[in-house]
C-alpha cells in the first residue's frame, strides 16, 4: 500500500487499477442501522426521564439538565457518524478517492470532538446524580473532585485534539509528525479509567442500603445498565 498518495483522484493502495477481492463490500448500512437504532432507544429513555422528572414528580435537578445536554451531544455525534459514511466511513480505504478521504478526516475531527463532549457530560451527569441520591459529605467531596477533573480533562482533550488535527492537516495526513493512534489510545485509556471509577463509586453505598435481596439486585442491575 502506498502510504502517501499524490493525486486527489488517486486511491490508496491501487496502483495498477486492479481492485482486491470483495472490495465492494461495505458496512455502511450496518453503521447507519445500528447508530439509528441505538439513538432511537436513547431518545425513548431520555424522553421518559424528562417526563418523570419534569412533569410527574416535578423535581428537576442539575443532573437532569446535564443529561439533556449530553443527549444533544450524542444526537449531533450520531448524525455526524451517519454523514461520515458519505466520506468513506464503512468502506475499504481504496474504494474512496483521496480527496474524499481528506474531507472525511476533517469530519472525523468534529466526530471526535462531539464524542468527547458527549462522553464527559454523561459522566458528569452520573456524578451529579450520585450527589443527589447519596447526600453524604464524603460522597459529595468525591463527586466534586471527579467533576472538576472531568472538566479539566475535557477541556484539555478538546484543545489537544484541535492542535493535533491542525498539525496533521497542515502536514498531510500520511506525513504527519504526530502518532494519531497513540493519541487515541491515551485518550481511550483515560476514559476507561474514569468509567471504572465512576461505576464503582456507588457500589459500597448500594450494598449498605436496607433492601430485600431482589430489590438490591435490581438496583445493582440498574446502575450496571447505566454504566453500559
52 within a domain of the structure (yes/no): yes
Please give the backbone phi and psi of residue 97, each rounded to the nearest 5 degrees, phi first. -60, 150
The whole-number pLDDT of residue 147 equals 97
9 within a domain of the structure (yes/no): no
The whole-number pLDDT of residue 2 equals 44
203 within a domain of the structure (yes/no): no
Number of domains in the chain: 1
The whole-number pLDDT of residue 133 equals 85
User: Are the C-beta atoms of residues 104 and 113 closer than 8 Å to each other?
Assistant: no
Nearest-angstrom CA–CA distance, 21 and 175: 28
The whole-number pLDDT of residue 62 equals 94
Q: What integer best gives the mean pLDDT of the chain?
A: 83
Q: What is the domain range of residue 98?
A: 28-197
Nearest-angstrom CA–CA distance, 108 and 81: 8
Nearest-angstrom CA–CA distance, 149 and 165: 24
Which triple of cell numbers denotes residue 182? 497513540
Closest CA to 62 of 138, 126, 5, 151: 126
137 within a domain of the structure (yes/no): yes
Which triple of cell numbers denotes residue 23? 472490495
55 within a domain of the structure (yes/no): yes
Nearest-angstrom CA–CA distance, 49 and 28: 32
User: Are the C-beta atoms of residues 95 and 11 closer than 8 Å to each other?
Assistant: yes
Q: Bigger pLDDT: 121 or 95?
A: 121
Q: Among 38-42, 143-147, 222-226, which stretch is predicted with the lowest mean pLDDT?
A: 222-226
121 within a domain of the structure (yes/no): yes
Nearest-angstrom CA–CA distance, 12 and 5: 6
127 within a domain of the structure (yes/no): yes
Hey, which residues does 100 pair with through a beta bridge?
none
Q: What does pTM read for this prediction?
A: 0.81
What pLDDT, in 10s, does the model give residues 166-209? 766 666 655 666 666 777 788 889 889 999 899 888 888 877 77
19 within a domain of the structure (yes/no): no
Q: Bigger pLDDT: 22 or 146?
A: 146
Nearest-angstrom CA–CA distance, 24 and 122: 37
Residue whose cell numbers read 468525591: 142
Average pLDDT over residues 26-55: 94
Amino acid at each position: 500500500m502506498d502510504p502517501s498518495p499524490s493525486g486527489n483522484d488517486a486511491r490508496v493502495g491501487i496502483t495498477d487499477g486492479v481492485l482486491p477481492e470483495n472490495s465492494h463490500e461495505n458496512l455502511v448500512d450496518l453503521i447507519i442501522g445500528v447508530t439509528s437504532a441505538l439513538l432511537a432507544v436513547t431518545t425513548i429513555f431520555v424522553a421518559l426521564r424528562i417526563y418523570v422528572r419534569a412533569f410527574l414528580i416535578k423535581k428537576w435537578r442539575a443532573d437532569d439538565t446535564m443529561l439533556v445536554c449530553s443527549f444533544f451531544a450524542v444526537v449531533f455525534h450520531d448524525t455526524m457518524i451517519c454523514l461520515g459514511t458519505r466520506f468513506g466511513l464503512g468502506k475499504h480505504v481504496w474504494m474512496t478517492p483521496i480527496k474524499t478521504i481528506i474531507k472525511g478526516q476533517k469530519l472525523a475531527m468534529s466526530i471526535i470532538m462531539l464524542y468527547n463532549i458527549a462522553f464527559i457530560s454523561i459522566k458528569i451527569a452520573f456524578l451529579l446524580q450520585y450527589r443527589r441520591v447519596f447526600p453524604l459529605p464524603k460522597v459529595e467531596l468525591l463527586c466534586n473532585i471527579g467533576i472538576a477533573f472531568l472538566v479539566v480533562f475535557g477541556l484539555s482533550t478538546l484543545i489537544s485534539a484541535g492542535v493535533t488535527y491542525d498539525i496533521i492537516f497542515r502536514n498531510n495526513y500520511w506525513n504527519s509528525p504526530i502518532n494519531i493512534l497513540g493519541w487515541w489510545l491515551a485518550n481511550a485509556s483515560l476514559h476507561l479509567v474514569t468509567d471504572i471509577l465512576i461505576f464503582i463509586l456507588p457500589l459500597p453505598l448500594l450494598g449498605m442500603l436496607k433492601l430485600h435481596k431482589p430489590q438490591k439486585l435490581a438496583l445493582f442491575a440498574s446502575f450496571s445498565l447505566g454504566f453500559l
